[in-house]
Structures are given as C-alpha cells and as structure tokens.
Amino acid sequence: MRSSSLSALVSIVCSLLLHSRWGTCQQVPADANTACRGVVSGTIPHPTDCTRYFVCWQSTGVAGQCSPNFVFNPLVMFCVHQSQYRCPMEVTTVEPEVTSSSTVEVTGGTTPGLCVQTPWEAHFCWNHASELIRNPVNCTQYIDCERTPQANQDCPPGKLFSLSYQDCFPGNERTCQMEPLAGEFCDGKPAGSYAHPYLCNRFVTCFRGMPRLDTCPPGYVFDEARLRCVHGDVLECSSLLGGD
C-alpha cells in the first residue's frame, strides 16, 4: 500500500514539475531510486547523461528525458536548449581511419560536446521587453537582460525584486511579500500627504495619526517637494536602471 501510494505521489510531483520543454517523464525504478536515495524532494541531474534527470520524492525516483536538442541544467533544475548549457560530458578522442592504399597523417583529435556554453540566464530573457526580470526561483534576485552576457544579480540584504518597478524593495524573502506600510507611519506627523517609503507612484495620507495608502494616476509619480502627483515614470525612480 505504501509503495503504490509513493508511486502515485511521484507521478503527481513529476507532472507538476514538468516544463513544456522538459520532455517526458517515466518510471525507471532501478536507476532513479538509487539516485534518489536519501533525497526527500527535488530534481537532480542524471550522473552520466545530461539529457536526462530524476524527479525525487521521499527517496522514490522518476526518470525524465529532455526533448530533442535540450539538456538538463542543474542550476535552474529543468531542460534548456543545448546551446545554453555545457554538458559535463567526457570528450571523445577520434582517430582517423588509415588504410594501406592511402597516406594519412595520424593526429589525435577531439569531438566537442554537443552543448555550447551560454549563460543560463539567457533562457529567461527570451521575449522579455524589460531590462531586468525576476529570477523565477529566487525573489531576492533578478536577471539583467541588457548585460552582455546576461547575468543574475542579488538585491541588497532584506530586499526583494519587483518586476513592475524594476527595483529592489524591503520584503520577506521567505514569503516573497513586500514589506507593508508600518502602522505607526503617521505617528508625530501633522495631517497631510507624504511620499511612500519606497514606491514612488504611491503616497500616504495622514489624518488624526492614521495612515491611508493612496496611488497616483497611471503615468504619474508623487513629488515629495510639491506633495502631489506629477507626470512621471516609475522606472525613472529605479535605483537599478539608468546607470551613472
């Protein structure tokens, strides 16, 4: 009973984890279960074949096969195009065939692996108009798609990346939720409007010591000097864009 339940669970986990580019997933008890021994939950690469991987659940494994021209990238834990990740494959030595009727200079040669190394980040930058995109597996990181090559970057400690604002803001890295406005924001402040602590298109209206969160109309940002919304772009407020 326990074995059939685990098998069903692994099949469900496999179906949930499969990406459209991952390929197929199938039960291969011997190799998969050996590789997944001691692994509670996760996806791991095949030890000798970079086109395959194992989906593990409570030491029970399911073998997966990437689609043609795709390989498993352990950094992002799914299959990417073979041009985006260099497989840790052994290089094969090729010796030219020599016959008695021909004279051929025999030299050692190598056949390079099928994969050409390019940044794994490039996979996520495809078809994205934004300069910066959120790391899909870590909300405290972002990928700079404008750099050559594209690169993964860390937000400062205690901050999360916001795709809409193209910036890093205070938040909880465990829940990936932005830090809410403090209830005591208006303490000691006279009634009026104040800039939001980190969102430049929002502002806080204080009345009798109570805060009310307001938003500027689209295409406007809050001007702290004028204490009102003015024409502007939230991306111009980003600390990550614009360079020097």
46 vs 187, higher pLDDT: 187
Please indicate, yes or no, whether residues 174 and 196 belong to a single structural domain of this protein.
no
Cβ contact 60:41 at 8 Å: no
pLDDT of 89: 59
CB-based burial label for 236 (10 Å; 0-12, 13-18, 19+): exposed
pTM of this structure: 0.55
Number of domains in the chain: 3
In a domain, 154, yes or no: yes
Please indicate, yes or no, whether residues 168 and 200 belong to a single structural domain of this protein.
no
pLDDT of 39: 72
Please indicate, yes or no, whether residues 172 and 133 belong to a single structural domain of this protein.
yes
**Average confidence score pLDDT of the chain:** 77
pLDDT of 12: 43
pLDDT of 20: 37
Q: Mean pLDDT across the stretch 155-176?
A: 94
Which residues are bridge partners to 211 per DSSP?
206
Share of the chain above pLDDT 70, in %: 72
133 vs 120, higher pLDDT: 133
In a domain, 150, yes or no: yes
Asked if the model's pLDDT at residue 30 lies above 60, the reply is no
pLDDT of 1: 44
Q: Name the residue range of residue 69's domain.
A: 32-81
In a domain, 214, yes or no: yes
pLDDT of 174: 86
Asked if the model's pLDDT at residue 133 lies above 80, the reply is yes
pLDDT of 88: 72
Q: Mean pLDDT across the stretch 162-184?
A: 93
Q: Mean pLDDT across the stretch 3-15?
A: 46
pLDDT of 10: 44
Please indicate, yes or no, whether residues 126 and 166 belong to a single structural domain of this protein.
yes
Asked if the model's pLDDT at residue 108 lies above 50, the reply is no
Name, of 2-11, 66-75, 141-150, 199-208, the range with top average pLDDT.
199-208
In a domain, 164, yes or no: yes
In a domain, 131, yes or no: yes
In a domain, 229, yes or no: yes
**Lowest-confidence range among 11-15, 217-221, 227-231?**
11-15
pLDDT of 28: 42
Q: Mean pLDDT across the stretch 107-136?
A: 64
**Which of these three, 53, 81, 109, is where a domain ends?**
81
pLDDT of 6: 44
Asked if the model's pLDDT at residue 190 lies above 60, the reply is yes
165 vs 18, higher pLDDT: 165
